[in-house]
Structure 1
Amino acid sequence: MEGVIGIDLGTTNSVVATVRNNRVEVIPDRYGNRLHPSVVAFVPNGDVLVGHSARARRHIDPRNTIYSAKRLIGQSIRNPIVRLALSTLPYQIEEGPNEQPMIVVRGRRYSVPEISAFVLMHLKQCAEQHLGAPVSKAVITVPANFTDSQRQATKQAGQLAGLKVLRILNEPTAAALAYGFGKALNAVLAIYDLGGGTFDVTVLQIRDRIFEVLATGGDSFLGGDDFDRALVNRLAGEFLERTRIDLRTQPEGWAKLQTACEQIKCRLSDDPVVAGTIHDLAVGAGGKSVGLDFEISRQQFESLIEPYVERSVQACREVLAAAGLEPRDLTDLILVGGSTRTPLVRTAIEQQFHRKPQARINPDETVAYGAALQAAALTSGHADPAQFYSLLLDVAPRALGIAVAGGYNETIIERNTPIPVERTRKFITSKDFQTRVDIQVSQGEAKMFADNEKLGTLELHDLEPAKRGETEIEVTFTIDVDGILSVRAIDTKTGRETRATMRVIGAPSPGADTPDADPQHLPRPA
């Protein structure tokens, strides 16, 4: 029988699970490792390594070892936050079609979905070896606040890996499925998910087998990578003061320092002080190898990461307010993601929610566990699919709208609207004898379009020339169960319609780029 899997595709590590004999199994690699590093290494002989063997090459061959791809997937390379991330990565990245980042390795360019597809192929192969059967279907999880382009790019990565993607499932929802499996519950949960590169917080209500998201928020550029970077910058500064060598100009040394700082961070979760030597960071005067003696306390580390932790706490406050709840209204608190093991994170979240987190949840594996349950529920022919079925009522994490005349943003779907959903709004032309309308799509709550995130552009051509305001256009936004947006625009007079030319910024869509919209061709509210 063909296998079906659930995948938590993470920034730092990925996890794959399946349901067999009515039990969830987390699938290891051939060495027994249940956490699979989301790292891809391209070696000189042409082989591609994934997982632990790839991670071992990060400081040996940093220019050809790719990690943290999840922070880039579906993003525009022109996004200022992405530009900041690029400045810390040792491998080469160029701008490709649709502003998508292209990773250059050994003379070849790869899109980010192609890199993620290598990770997914590795997980698929591990599952096939474990199950002794082919695997072609999967549920893949993403952060709740992933944009439409990030979801589309993740789905494409699954398809490139030879998988039929049954569902793109939000990570907090998957964690809630794992929490509620096999129970008749009436509970209100807060799910705090802090991984290597992304952060989500979701408030969710469970009534029997109905899982309803009340509100969600987060930051797709907040996670353990930021903790690592803060520590790397601190120690790189000390190294520069002592040796006059800037490790940013030494890719191998920089990668070695990053690896060391990841280990220091983990040790500081248990030890109040960590001291030691990082050897062979650079070559100094006379060709002598230079290392760094260091000592850092948990208190010093916490002072470095406190701003990042506070950003996550502020998001928690906002999500509780959006749900109309107080901490006392919650039944339980679930922590997800390896970065929640950081003592400062746990302390801050316990103080915010006035409770200890649920102890039985494995923060590394619970998302894949829930994804496997959802995969079983969606697959006909399972031994007992009914016991795995739950009704999931998720929400749109951010408002979606379009640009209108004057540079304003007109919201069509509000933040935290339950999905799937379809909304239609009517607009009119903004100038005389207008023959086209440019529909610029945004994600965000700001009043001005430029202050939101631009998702893409849809063009409706060949309008019949008429006086300003006489031509009416219906714009319909549809979000499916995967959280993926489709947009349709119709000239109500002629019935002319466009829906297939939407260009999603940062997404690896085929064909030439469409030009930026002309402000003269923007619609205005009817």
Structure 2
Amino acid sequence: MAIDFGTCFTTAAVRPAQSDAVSAVEIENSRYLPSLVCLDDAGRLLTGRAAVQLAAQRPERAEQHPKRALLRQPAVLLDDCERETVDLVAAVLARAVAEARAQQGGAGPARTVLTHPADWSPADLDRLAEAAARAGIDRPELLPEPVAAARFYAARADGGTQSVAAGGGPIAVYDLGGGTVDTAVLRWEGSEFRTVAVAGDPGFGGRDLDQALFALLRDRALDLDPEPWQRLWDDPAPAAAHQRAHLGRELTLAKESLSSTGTVYLAVPGYPDPFVVQGGEYRAAVTPALTASVDLLDRVVARAGLTPADLAVVVLCGAASRTPPVADLIADWLGRSPELATDPKAAVALGALTEPPAPPAPAASDPAAADGATEGRRRWTVTHYPDEVDPYLDGRLSF
């Protein structure tokens, strides 16, 4: 199985033995398990709907983004209880494994692949591996997310992976998830995609697009009548907290609906009629930030010594990549349309189990080569060029 542990959502996929058919794992009737973790009264770490429901009432007991916490600190305070961040991640990973086992008749995975951002350091990967061990995952294979995304694209391209390999052109990946944007350039070398340049912003993602929609709604409500809005957001009662959480979920659904419809309606407690948001005004609100993220893609292509015209394709993945301006902005920059997966949120998990052609077996007389081949399958190498650090980026995009 493969697990794509995301900032906001986690996806998993399985491939039965002796089969090339890869399928996403459904957890609580959804392919997307919230990465949020919440502590219950008994000291248990809850995941999924139970965690989301409790977090809406007791936000002080929740860690909204365990992936970020894993990199920033060894422990977090949930209410008055300190818990190690690796345990929070382990809870999410263990939930994914348990659901996969249940759907496969109780059988555990023979191999487990964990995907990760391509620019994670060895120390970051060690923390992920430790969380996996606490989740009962033995010797996971660690695969960079853009490699998985490139595999997913190549397997579905005309002629399959061999056709992409024969073309020889570099591939760029633009991954706009719920909490981050990551970009990478890859080349096909030998029998696998190799990441040659990476760049990302851990502080910008789909949740920021939700915030832009929230700002549109807030401004409209305040213009009409500020009192109900202020009452909704200042009220500490559990009922108000539930209303705020529900409105947050409605905003996310509305943002996704704007990918296919030009108008959404949002009901806000305290107002008699729903507010109408047009696709054009939402597009105008989010375009500056998305333009900055495309500039990040342009910089990573330049760091690889390439121009947009040199790219064979730009692959879009991540849930927020379906936001209407994304494909248009990248098409304007690239000069042609990018490739967007039918389910971009699950593309990385599915691609992680899409195997490239097998490399030639090492010679029997070369045990070092055999050992190296085994290690290469366990943890992939990312090449960083000397000029890859952008002194003007400083870890965040400037909006």
Same-fold call, TM > 0.5? yes
SS across alignment from 1:395 = coil
More strand by share: 1
Aligned to 1:309: 290
**1:205-232, CA deviations, whole angstroms, 9 ceiling, x for partnerless residues?**
2246232223221212221011112323
SS at match of 1:183: helix
Alpha-carbon distance change, 70 to 209 in structure 1, aligned in 2, over 3 angstroms: same
Secondary structure of 2:345's aligned partner: coil
2:268 alignment partner, SS class: strand
Matches of residues 410-429 of structure 1 in structure 2 within 5 Å?
414=386
The structure that has the greater radius of gyration is: 1
Secondary structure of residue in 1 paired with 2:316: strand
Partner residue of 1:49? 46
The answer to whether residue 92 in structure 2 is matched with residue 119 in structure 1 is: yes
Q: Hey, what does 1:497 align to over in structure 2?
A: none
Task: Tell me the CA shift for residue 65 of structure 1.
Answer: 4.2
Q: 1:392 to 1:46 in 2, by over 3 A?
A: closer
Q: 2:233 aligns with which of 242, 247, 255?
A: 247
Q: 1:195 aligns with which of 177, 180, 184?
A: 177
Matches within 5 A, 1:354-373: 354-358=335-339, 362-373=343-354
* Other-structure match for 2:327: 346
Partner Cα distance (2:253, 2:96) in 1 = 25
Task: List alignment gaps of at least 5 residues for structure 1.
Answer: 76-98, 280-288, 381-385, 400-413, 417-443, 454-526
Shift of 1:125: 0.3
Q: Which of 257, 265, 271 is the aligned partner of 1:267?
A: 257
**Residue 138 of structure 2 corresponds to residue 154 of structure 1:** no
- Contact 1:175-1:370 within 8 A present in 2 as well: yes
* Pair 8,248 (structure 1): closer, same or farther in 2 beyond 3 Å: farther
- Tell me the secondary structure at the aligned position of residue 170 of structure 2: strand
Q: 2:83 aligns with which of 103, 110, 126?
A: 110
SS of the residue 1:201 aligns to? strand
- In the alignment, the residues of structure 2 paired with residue 269 and residue 446 of structure 1 have an alpha-carbon distance, to the nearest angstrom, of 35
Task: Report the secondary structure of 1:15's partner residue.
Answer: strand
* CA apart distance, 1:396: 4.4
Report matched runs for 1:71-150 at 5 Å.
71-75=68-72, 100=74, 102-105=76-79, 107-131=80-104, 132-135=106-109, 137-150=111-124
Q: Which amino acid aligns with 1:164?
A: D
Q: 1:452-491 residue pairs with structure 2 within 5 A?
A: none
- Superposition TM-score, scaled by structure 2 size: 0.78
1:149 is displaced (CA, Å) by 4.7
> Distance between the aligned counterparts of 1:61 and 1:136, measured in 2?
38
Letter in 2 for 1:270: S
Cα separation, partners in 2 of 1:28 and 1:375, compared to 1, 3 Å:
farther
**Gap regions ≥5 residues in structure 2:** 362-372
Matched residue pairs, number? 363
Equivalence for 1:229: 211
Q: String of CA shifts for 1:238-272, please: whole Å, max 9, x gaps.
A: 55561143726644444333222112211211222
Q: How does 1:293-332 map to 2 (within 5 A)?
A: 293-332=274-313
Report % sequence identity: 26
Residue-by-residue CA offset, 1:174-208 (whole Å, 9 max, x unaligned): 11122334632233211111111111111112246
Cα distance in 2 for partners of 1:278, 1:445 equals 42
Query: Could you list the per-position Cα deviations for residues 344-390 of structure 1 after superposition, in whole angstroms to 9, with x for gaps in the alignment?
Result: 11111111122222355631222112323469989x9xxxxx9xx98
State how far apart, in whole Å, the 2-side matches of 1:254 and 1:360 are: 32
Deviations for 1:411-453, whole angstroms, at most 9, x for unmatched residues? xxx355xxxxxxxxxxxxxxxxxxxxxxxxxxx5549xxx978
Amino acid across the alignment from 1:331: A
Aligned-pair CA distance for 1:130: 2.1
Q: Which of the pair is proportionally richer in helix?
A: 2
Pairwise CA RMSD of aligned residues?
3.5
Contact 1:26–1:34 (Cα < 8 Å) also in 2: no
Shift of 1:14: 1.3
Contact 2:27 2:33 in 1 (8 A): no
Q: Is 2:2–2:112's contact at 8 Å kept on the other side of the alignment?
A: yes
8 Å Cα contact 1:6-1:374 kept in structure 2: no
Shift of residue 319, structure 1, vs aligned partner: 1.2
Measured at CA, do residues 391 and 151 of structure 1 come closer, stay the same or move farther in structure 2, by a change above 3 Å?
A: closer
Query: Aligned to 2:183, what secondary structure does the other structure show?
Result: strand
